[in-house]
Structure 1
Amino acid sequence: MAPSKIRIATASPSTQPTTPKTLAQIAQLARRAASNNIDILLLPEAYLGGYPRGTNFGCVMGSRSAEGRDEYLRYFQAAVDLGDIVGEGGAGGLEKWVRRELVGDEIPGAQGQEGDKGEKVKNKRGDGTREELERIARETGVFLVTGCIEKAGGSLYCSVVYVCPKMGMIGKRRKVMPTAIERLVWAQGSPATLRAVSTVIRGVRINLAAAICWENYMPMLRQSLYSQNINLYLAPTADGRDTWLPLMRTAAIEGRCFVVSSNMCARKDGGKQQAKTNGRPVLSHQPQQQPDFSAIADPSPFTSDGRRSSLVTEEGFEIALPSPRSGSRGRQKKIRRQSVFDEDGNEIVLPCCNEQGDVEVEAEAEVDDETVSTMTPKTSLSSTAASAAPAQTAKPGSRQTFKIPVIDRSTGAKTEEDFVSRGGSAIVSPFGDVLAGPQWEDDEGIIWADVDFEDCIRGRLDLDTAGSYSRNDSFKLTVGGLDLSPLPYH
């Protein structure tokens, strides 16, 4: 990888039943990312705490049920406490929180105790999640950005944290406009939290900011991020529809920035990485007032015995790249082609498998001088769906699931595997090219791309949405509580 290239990555993991287990999964993903020289890793919206897909918490207009209140209690208890306050308009403590200067962050040393020198002693606010994320970033060297459900006071916020390996938490933002029924359980965050943050990796300054899920459909919110001179636009989401990727390509072209999106791949009805509450699929429910972080194991490094690569054309078609007959290590692989047919007679090509039926593919492709790579652990065909499989259309008002036809090797019969959310994480260039993904039906892999952030400047030759092209002499944007001064290039 050239010195000027930064490796950015994303994934589509699903929330685990408890906070410590989700944090353990973050640790595993971060270690795998580090072993593949990944610099920045984005994880989905509400990944810590869970996205309550498919539930209404017992609410109808004018009435709330006792069962729904109990369900909300469990959801509140599963949210993480980052040691922040509510703040004015849901702004939290902002820089005071980042610098640990909130009341209670430091307490005077107790007088008369053995060894007391009267100095102030650091007091850990929150439930330890902040410190655990900082530890993971520090030990792996990976800059982490992840969504979380954060509790402060008596309210919940859909938040995103920026975790620097050297400085720890350098920023946090709260979703300013929860979508539809999300407003029942998530409070509105202040626009003041839209402030972008900066990091420097191998001498390259990266100005990054996140727009959460349907905030990306708010043109003025997108413009508030572009105005801060960002070159990395992050979009953790719960939207896995086919309309999402075109929106990401639009944001990349508008802002002349790299765009990284992350959405959970969640399996239906007690799938491998999903729990249930009252028969409804909700991604995290276990009450955890004070997580026991000693439960987090140190997973072994990821070994990419199987890697699958694909690219997306300008028209949006995904092309699966062929697997080499021999790997870079010189060992021969027995590859056979697998495919199935859907009800309409369309052939769906499945990942190549060895004679035991395990995915065992390695591939890398050069696309416009950008190395696109994906890695996926070995999986069985009986639990693997083709990324090109068409999704079913959900009826209005119903919870959307997707049925993917696969072949049961033991019987040869067609079976179906359902997904509550198919994922679809992706990485897009400042010119709208899809560099990695979309990552469908894969809750274990990591996708990445090696990028040159000077492409953001190259793209501003003809389009600078936040500068001269914005005609800021005629059009004005102000955001309450947010300084829109652009961040520096160097």
Structure 2
Amino acid sequence: MGKGQVRVAVVQAAPVLFDKASALELIGKWARQAAEEGARMAVFPEVFIGGYPRGLYFGAPVGSRSAAGRQDWEKYWHSAIEIPGGDTEAIGRIAKQTGLYLVIGTVERDSEFSGSTLYNSIVYFGPDGSLLGKHRKLVPTGAERLLWGQGDGSTLTVIDTPFGRIGGLICWENYMPLARTAMYAKGIDILVTPTADARDTWQATLRHIACEGRCFVVSSNQYATKAAYPSELACYADIAEADEVLSRGGSAIVGPLGDYVVPPLYDREGLLVAELDMSEVTRSRFDFDAVGHYSRPDVFQLLVHEGKRAPVVAD
């Protein structure tokens, strides 16, 4: 494999909801399979650790909260991880054992202030097991705002690797034009997009972003069924009548001119693996570079605040 090529893997699976041990076990399983197939990087779905609680209301109609909903949220809190912490050390050992760059969606528990707020985050690991960085979702979507706090500009993380610069935006953050522009300006070569969106329109988004950013887009979604929901959840009735398949997947890999490298996978779990020719990124920018020769800074400029915003500052 030449210097300009990299083999990447995308995981489409789901752990048991609110079961951190289940997620960590699956990370080891899928990482080993990706390594066996020659991958150097593996990408996992949005909030793979902790799980995406699709369909749950957490007992929170407008204007009130129920005791049962608080009980389930407490389970969710316990399934989150701190970054860094003992769980990231365990994942780092998996990265080192498999020699992979790991990109994993997780529910992150704040460890700096109250210890109670949760975030929807991406966490990055190097093949030496090191924790390379994280990104917190800037704006949780709809009812997600009940579960997760808002990230700030301090985690618009991009990681340098021997095969290019990787970074990510989570699910509908990719509909934020200014967030995308900020990532393009960081020289992104591979944009990872962990998601919970299985609609056909999400595929149009992936292809547009790849073509707009002239980068590879690697999207990972869960294939999730009701079997992943513990029946003892206080609010299990929320999904009792739902279809058996809660998320059909749709993970895919798209090239920098908007064409599929691997088309979307639906209706089953699986591992997508592809060889990416990173020189395609350079060739694709011959006629379009959103933050280079196709920009007009005399007309449009973007100001990005990357400082950390703290609720309490000690003087």
TM-score by length of structure 1 reads 0.59
Cα distance change, pair 60–280 in 1 and its aligned pair in 2 (3 A): same
Instruction: Name the SS of the counterpart of 2:200 in structure 1.
Output: coil
* 1:473 and 2:298 matched: yes
Task: Supply the distance in 2 between the matched residues of 1:281 and 1:185 (Cα, whole angstroms).
Answer: 19
- Structure 2 unaligned blocks of 5 or more: 309-315
**Of the candidates 175, 186, 208, which is equivalent to residue 148 of structure 2?**
186
* 1:74 and 2:75 matched: yes
- Residue 313 of structure 1 corresponds to none
Task: Supply the distance in 2 between the matched residues of 1:42 and 1:437 (Cα, whole angstroms).
Answer: 16
* 1:169 and 2:127 matched: no
Give the 4+ runs in structure 1 shifted more than 4 A: 398-402
Identical counterparts, % of pairs: 40
Task: Supply the distance in 2 between the matched residues of 1:475 and 1:453 (Cα, whole angstroms).
Answer: 29
Cα distance change, pair 463–482 in 1 and its aligned pair in 2 (3 A): farther
- Residue 204 of structure 2 corresponds to 246
How much does 1:401 deviate?
A: 6.2
Task: Supply the distance in 2 between the matched residues of 1:234 and 1:426 (Cα, whole angstroms).
Answer: 10
- Residue 268 of structure 2 corresponds to 442
Asked if structure 2 preserves the Cα contact closer than 8 Å seen for 1:54 and 1:280, the reply is no
**Of the candidates 457, 461, 471, which is equivalent to residue 282 of structure 2?**
457
- Structure 1 unaligned blocks of 5 or more: 84-125, 283-397, 403-417, 484-490
How much does 1:196 deviate?
A: 1.2
Higher strand share: 1
Task: Supply the distance in 1 between the matched residues of 2:78 and 2:148 (Cα, whole angstroms).
Answer: 14
Asked if structure 1 preserves the Cα contact closer than 8 Å seen for 2:69 and 2:234, the reply is no
TM-score by length of structure 2 reads 0.91
Asked if structure 1 preserves the Cα contact closer than 8 Å seen for 2:157 and 2:168, the reply is no
CA RMSD of aligned residues (A): 2.0
Cα distance change, pair 45–2 in 1 and its aligned pair in 2 (3 A): same
* 1:12 and 2:5 matched: no
Task: Supply the distance in 2 between the matched residues of 1:462 and 1:470 (Cα, whole angstroms).
Answer: 12
Q: How far does the alpha carbon of each residue in 1:132-151 deviate from its partner, in whole angstroms, 9 at most, with x for none?
A: 11100011011100100011
Q: How far does the alpha carbon of each residue in 1:420-468 deviate from its partner, in whole angstroms, 9 at most, with x for none?
A: 000110000001111113011122x211111111111101100000112
How much does 1:21 deviate?
A: 2.2
Higher Cα Rg, which structure? 1
- Residue 370 of structure 1 corresponds to none
Cα distance change, pair 467–482 in 1 and its aligned pair in 2 (3 A): farther
Amino acid at match of 1:226: Y
**Of the candidates 239, 255, 258, which is equivalent to residue 432 of structure 1?**
258
Matches within 5 A, 1:4-403: 4-16=4-16, 18-83=19-84, 126=85, 128-152=86-110, 153-166=115-128, 168-200=130-162, 204=163, 206-268=164-226, 270=227, 273-276=228-231, 277-278=233-234, 280=236
Task: Supply the distance in 2 between the matched residues of 1:185 and 1:468 (Cα, whole angstroms).
Answer: 41
Q: How far does the alpha carbon of each residue in 1:173-206 deviate from its partner, in whole angstroms, 9 at most, with x for none?
A: 1011000011011000112211311111xxx3x1
Q: How far does the alpha carbon of each residue in 1:95-151 deviate from its partner, in whole angstroms, 9 at most, with x for none?
A: xxxxxxxxxxxxxxxxxxxxxxxxxxxxxxx3x111011100011011100100011
Task: Supply the distance in 2 between the matched residues of 1:45 and 1:181 (Cα, whole angstroms).
Answer: 16
Asked if structure 2 preserves the Cα contact closer than 8 Å seen for 1:275 and 1:281, the reply is no
Q: How far does the alpha carbon of each residue in 1:293-352 deviate from its partner, in whole angstroms, 9 at most, with x for none?
A: xxxxxxxxxxxxxxxxxxxxxxxxxxxxxxxxxxxxxxxxxxxxxxxxxxxxxxxxxxxx
Matches within 5 A, 1:412-423: 418-423=244-249
Asked if structure 2 preserves the Cα contact closer than 8 Å seen for 1:266 and 1:274, the reply is no
Q: How far does the alpha carbon of each residue in 1:9-61 deviate from its partner, in whole angstroms, 9 at most, with x for none?
A: 20211023521221111111111111110011110000001111111211122
Cα distance change, pair 183–164 in 1 and its aligned pair in 2 (3 A): same
How much does 1:4 deviate?
A: 3.2
Asked if structure 2 preserves the Cα contact closer than 8 Å seen for 1:177 and 1:188, the reply is yes
